[in-house]
């Protein structure tokens, strides 16, 4: 999918430099040296990402990006700023006006990576807004490509979850949400690099913090795409633990949404029985043994029994 990037800077030299940086990545590039003209382009064109300098004569980049958000909420907004404006840039991120900021003089590789991440996020949001399940599944499968060993993971998790949902007599609407949430439970990993996802050794504390953020990042995507609350619950809560030791919120017991407790079980079983960068797969028997040890701590005890009976005939 070809996407459009809008570059905004009142200095022609800076525009040329940015233009050259993205000339070879297969995206449509628009440029503007005037904030008001940039706003006009946002109204006329479908802009995936806008990159704006902060210090401009007509209005600041922060002001421009705040207006862009009101016109085109899905457009990802990146600010080029100086150290002097760093606190304002961080505040803009916290308020949602800016997706990322880059401090001048900018690092070419870092800026390219941020823009490519932003384009991927934009495309994902647009796909998630579509109603057809085929497009949503394709979006989930695209994310799985970042980690080849997880190919088919979202579909297998969905099948286990659907079996449990049927046993619990979920309504057709609830079943539909359960399936979508299962497909998309790891969608927040779109913001994590392949290097971290495919690491064979022990993660650093920073890398582990990135991994622990993926439920929130995924839930933010799902919220922006307007997905139902039960789908968002699965994405946000599938790493909560029944004893309250999970993340991101440390919810406990039945405070964890039912659909999330279901997907947690399906997710862990599939993870245990497939090869991962850090270990080889376990056979079904060993996986069940491991999961029994986590009954009541990680897993809802009753739901684990249901899973073993309905999905594995144990």
For residues 96 and 117, what is the distance between their CA atoms, to the nearest angstrom?
17
- The residue annotated as part of the active site, out of 129, 130, 176, 189, is 189
Give burial (CB, 10 Å; 0-12/13-18/19+) of 135. Answer: middle
Q: What is the b/e burial string over 251-280, where b = at least 16 CB atoms within 10 angstroms of the residue's CB?
A: beeeebbbbbbbbbbbbbbbebebeeeeee
Distance CA 259, CA 268 (A): 14
Q: Are 193 and 123 in contact (CB under 8 A)?
A: no
189 is catalytic: yes
Is the CB of residue 158 less than 8 Å from the CB of residue 251?
no
DSSP-derived 3-state class of residue 6? strand
Task: Just list the catalytic residues.
Answer: 189
């Amino acid at each position: 999918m070809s996407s459009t990037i809008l570059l905004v800077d009142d200095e022609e030299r800076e525009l040329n430099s940015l233009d050259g940086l993205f000339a070879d990545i297969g995206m449509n590039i628009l440029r503007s040296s005037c904030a008001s003209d940039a706003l006009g382009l946002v109204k006329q064109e479908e802009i995936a990402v806008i990159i704006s300098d902060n210090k401009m004569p007509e209005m600041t980049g922060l002001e421009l990006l705040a207006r862009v958000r009101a016109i085109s909420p899905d457009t990802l907004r990146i600010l080029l700023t100086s150290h002097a404006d760093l606190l304002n840039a961080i505040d803009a991120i916290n308020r949602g006006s800016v997706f990322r900021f880059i401090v001048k003089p900018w690092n070419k590789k870092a800026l390219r990576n941020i823009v490519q991440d932003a384009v991927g996020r934009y495309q994902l949001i647009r796909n998630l807004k579509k109603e057809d399940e085929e497009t949503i599944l394709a979006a989930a499968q695209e994310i799985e490509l970042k980690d080849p060993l997880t190919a088919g993971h979202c579909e297998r998790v969905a099948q286990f979850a659907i079996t449990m949902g049927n046993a619990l007599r979920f309504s057709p609407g609830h079943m539909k949400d359960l399936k979508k949430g299962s497909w998309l439970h790891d969608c927040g990993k779109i913001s994590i690099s392949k290097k971290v996802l495919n690491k064979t050794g022990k993660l650093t504390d920073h890398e582990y913090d990135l991994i622990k953020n993926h439920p929130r990042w995924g839930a933010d995507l799902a919220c922006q795409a307007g997905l139902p609350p039960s789908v968002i619950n699965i994405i946000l809560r599938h790493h909560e633990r029944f004893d309250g030791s999970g993340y991101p919120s440390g919810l406990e017991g039945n405070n964890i949404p039912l659909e999330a407790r279901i997907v947690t079980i399906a997710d862990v079983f599939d993870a245990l029985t497939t090869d991962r960068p850090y270990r080889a797969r376990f056979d079904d028997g060993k996986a069940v043994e491991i999961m029994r040890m986590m009954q009541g701590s990680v897993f809802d005890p009753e739901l684990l029994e249901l899973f073993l009976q309905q999905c594995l005939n144990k």
